[in-house]
Structure formats: C-alpha cells, structure tokens
Structure 1
C-alpha cells in the first residue's frame, strides 16, 4: 500500500491504492483494474467533472488575455498571431491537465467509495 494521498497519486496518474500501477491504458481510457495490485476501477465514473474543472481553470487563467487582446494597440497581424497563440495555449493546457484532473477525481472517488446517489421514493409523500 502506498502512503501517498490519492491526490498525489492522481497527479502522477497512478493507482490510488498501490501508487505504482498506471490508471490509463491510453490518453483517457481507464484500465479496468490496476496492473500491479489488481484494484477494480471499473465501477468508477468521473463523468464530466474533470472537463469542467480543467475548462473553468484554464479559461479563468487565460480569458483576461483573450478579452484584452482586441483592445491592445498592436497592428492587426500581431493581434491575429497572439490570438492564435492564446487559443493554442488554451487547447494545449486543457489537453495536458485533463488526464491529471481525471486521475485525481478518480482516485478520490475510489478512495472514499463514492457512488451514484440513490433516492428511494417513499409511497407516503
């Protein structure tokens, strides 16, 4: 068992149980189980959480530049090149952080045995 937290193992994209096995078989495709300790990861589902947090964070950092760029005194061509560079930065940073965010959320979900909410309907209400 690893003493590292599920968050640190998620950042490293490693199993939250043993800290050694890889979480993903490809870019965002989750392994069914840990290749080292055999922990079942098939019941975990992070849904759209990682995409939301990454998109929100990246745009929070870079949106001010995207809004200020049109008001800058630069000529048109440098503005266009700066806009393309900023768009590339948004896409690149998002693609780089998405597996990290998914790994963290997945490890936290498995660590805390989180599962889908189940609300039973009571016949009295």
Structure 2
C-alpha cells in the first residue's frame, strides 16, 4: 500500500510534495524548475521572505536566553567574549541548517493548496 507524504513531512525531507521522491533544490536554496521524478512544476509558488522570517524568529526565541545570560554571568571578560562568539556561531549555523527545511515546507504547502498571489483588480460586489 502506497503512503502519501504530507506537504510538511516532504518539505522537511526537502522532497517533492506530490511524489515524495524528487529533490526540491538543485543548490543550497535554488529550486528546481520541476520535480526530477514526477515533473511537477515548482515555478508556480514563491516563498519570498517567509522562510527567513520564520527561521529567524524561531532561532531568536531559542537563543535569546543565552544572549541575556552570558553578559550577566560572573565569567571573566575573555570567557564572556568567547561565549558570545560561540552563541553567534550557533545562531548562524542553526539558521543555515533550518532555512532550506523551512523553504521546502512553505513551498510544498503553497503548491499543495494551490496558493496564488492576491489580486485586487475585481471591483467589490454590491450586496
């Protein structure tokens, strides 16, 4: 029995939301124009800045306590500087690791739900 992947799970795996097999990316964040396995068109969706916002916000929530506690700790200044550099490196690596995952999830959700850009060209309907 074939198990259909959800858009979220296939996005986490960075695979096509339709077949669950084809890779979404041909580079770090560069999308394939179509799924190499099933041929699904991936140019119909644009995640814009959504993945960067969600990743940045999530990482900030996780790392904010360290950004407040390290400067207030009773460590010598040299160790505080090293700890802050370590926190900066951790934030950077965590963002770089999560960004393709978030982009894959948002892209698959947009394609799954056939999301389109908002259009306000139509005049309002009269009641």
TM-score range, shorter chain: over 0.9
TM-score normalised according to structure 1 size:
0.95
Report how many aligned residue pairs link the two structures.
125
2:66 paired residue number: 65
* Residues 1-125 of structure 1 mapped to structure 2, 5 A cutoff: 3-120=4-121, 122=123
- CA, structure 1 residues 71+29, in 2 after alignment: closer, same or farther (shift >3 Å)? same
Q: Give the root-mean-square deviation of aligned CA atoms.
A: 1.7
Q: Which runs of 5+ in 1 are unaligned?
A: none
Structure 2 alignment gaps of length 5 or more:
none
> Residue 103 of structure 1: CA displacement?
0.1
Residues 69 and 118 (structure 1 numbering): CA distance in 2 closer, same or farther, change over 3 Å? Answer: same
Q: CA deviation at 1:106?
A: 0.2
Could you tell me the TM-score, scaled by structure 2's length?
0.93
Query: Does 35-44 or 112-121 show the bigger shift?
Result: 112-121
- Equivalent-residue separation in structure 1 for 2:42 and 2:124 (angstroms): 36
For 1:53 and 1:123, the matched residues in 2 are separated by 33
Q: 1:2 to 1:20 in 2, by over 3 A?
A: farther
SS in 1 for 2:64: helix
Alignment CA distance shift 1:28-1:61 (3 Å) = same
